[in-house]
Amino acid sequence: VLEWIDKNPIYMSVNWTCAMDVAIRATNWIHAYFNFEDLMGEDLEFKEKFNKSLYEHGKFIYKNLEKCIKYSNNHYLSDLVGLIYLGLYFEGLHNGLKDHKKWLKYGVEELEKEMFIQNNSDGTNYETSTSYHRLVTELFLYTT
């Protein structure tokens, strides 16, 4: 993770072009962090760099939300999930940062709306793609 952070500064690589990708990466990193937290011990250098990068992820996602005017889609939903995960992660750190509160509030409010927008009354995804249906279902399940 630290090598990736060093080689991919924010806005300086292809890895910072799509908010959905940034959100999925942040979500995966948070899962990995909690799975391996005991192995890392008190590596303060890692935690400081990791948290700074996650904070940059949150700012990037919030600034580059992929909400389409007429219809939202799985990209926007991924953005929301990233904001929720980041909001909860930073809430748990009690580090005095404020942006995470607006990320969490916005993410939760929009996610509730998207549950009805992204799904038809029969439970299928409105994008009518099996892979998108699976992705959207996973995003809702992981977040709720």
What angle, rounded to 10 degrees, do the helices at 74-93 and 19-40 form?
A: 30
- pLDDT reported for residue 68: 82
Give the mean pLDDT of 2-9.
Answer: 94
CA 103 to CA 86: how far, in whole Å? 8
Model confidence at 92: pLDDT above 90: no
Within 8 A by CB and 6+ apart from 97, the residues are 55, 90
**Structural domain tally of the chain?**
1
pTM over 0.85: yes
Q: Residue 120 sits in a domain of what CATH number? A: 1.50.10.100
- pLDDT reported for residue 65: 97
Residue-range definition of the domain harbouring residue 93: 2-143
Neighbours of 43 (CB within 10 A): 12
**What are the C-alpha distances in Å from 79 to residues 37, 70, 76, 120, 121?**
25, 17, 5, 21, 23
pLDDT tens-place string over residues 52-76: 999 999 999 999 999 987 778 999 9
